[in-house]
Structure 1
Amino acid sequence: MKEFGPIHPRDINYHHIRRLRNTITNLKQRTIRTYLNRLGKMLEFFYGVNPYHQADVLWSPEATERDWIFKAQWKELWNHADETERLILALGGGMGLRRSEIADIKISDISGNVLSVRGKGSGPNGKVVTMQTPPTVMRCIDDYLVVRSSIIGEDDISDGNMLVMSRKRKGSSATSRFVETILQHLSEKAGIHVTCHMLRRFYCMAMVDAGLDIDTVRRMVRHEHITTIFDCYVCADPRKMAQATDSIEDAIFGF
């Protein structure tokens, strides 16, 4: 508390909190907020008063940097992928599944062209939703099941999982970490950075580009609130800045 000189902790009030908020400039806003919140809780524990809450500090929204892939990068990744990598691409970029959802798929979850997905939610396995599976994704599943048979061998320790480990603990149920590791290897081969959530983002924006209404997009990616689609996908689309520049060029200099 050198900013205030000698001071007893019990004498710290909301004025000090507000001053600290404006004085600390060498840290990220999120870090400052965490420190002040913890300071307030500590003072409340010892002295019964939380000056952080009393200060009612206003925090400006922080911009979130997101990584993206679009059709050109998707095509390059697809062309470099083997059967396992292509399966993960298909499930993540062709159906919008999260990495944990990809890792948790059981063979029994596949019924014709319908896939049961264990999503986020209450219960030990989360919410279970059924999704229509596009023909290309079904072909990727069929191709992978052939590879899976060679990995499993005679001793099946997969517990019925569709995706199985191919290196350490070979043949056992895949984990979320394994899914990301497979994508990391594909990234190195193709020279394109990609993660499961980037695939999910690509899936969402592909639907937007195809002209689907936002509520349909929300339901397809299984988000509860439509504002998430706007905030995390549509409004954050980096192509909008380039489009805006082109529009300004045409509007102002298109003589």
Structure 2
Amino acid sequence: MAGFRIRGDSPINLRAIPHPAVTLAIEFGDRPFDIHGTAGRMRSVSLAAGLSFSAFQVRAEGIACVQVRLSPLAGHPVLGLPLAELGGSVIALDDLWGRDTARLRERLHHARTWPERFALIDTELMTRLDRGRAVDPEVAWAWHQIIASHGRARINDLAARTGWSRQRMWARFGSQIGLTPKRAAMLVRFDQAIHRLVHGHTPAQVAADCGYADQSHLHHDVRAFTGTPPSAAANEPWLAADDTAWPSHRSAT
């Protein structure tokens, strides 16, 4: 979770890159985001994006917002629907939470400090998590295996180790997480690789360390998720700010 306040009259443009988490953003300064993605354009003061979105453009001017990244295991109950229903779209959080989103935005607006705002978000998320429907334990286990292996788990073994058929695992995982196990593993591995590139590691080293067959394989996956080659993707502001915007502890800028 992180808080952002972008002052001034000059808009900023960012390109959101796929990430193995559910992304929520709630603006509370009455300055909506302009979003342009594969589904077209939208203008909203809140957004929700699952794991399967394609890279999209965000234009913002003078905004104040809180952004949250949730494990898809939490995203399913918090959003109130299987993540497959989000598809590859970025949608307004208002469409999922209704008037609760407007009430939350008002409370965030009147809060005086970032810790107060973070506490409001925590309360909202925990309430929804507690009353939401959890993902299947087998799906949660498979997701943890993919994360722990940095996307290099043997996907064909996951179903067998849970006692499910391959067809059942693919169907339930795809519905609740929003991606097939194979695509989820590709996304997790890509995320590790692209952040290594951001930190200056060479493509050859990243390909070898992250389990790609060769640099061509790495190049293919980066382009598949970002639409750009590794040299361009590694300079995306969205990624360069990642450690500041979403550290292991909460922060505000």
Structure-1-length-normalised TM-score: 0.33
Of structures 1 and 2, the one scoring higher in RCO (CA 8 A, sep 6+) is 2
Higher strand share: 2
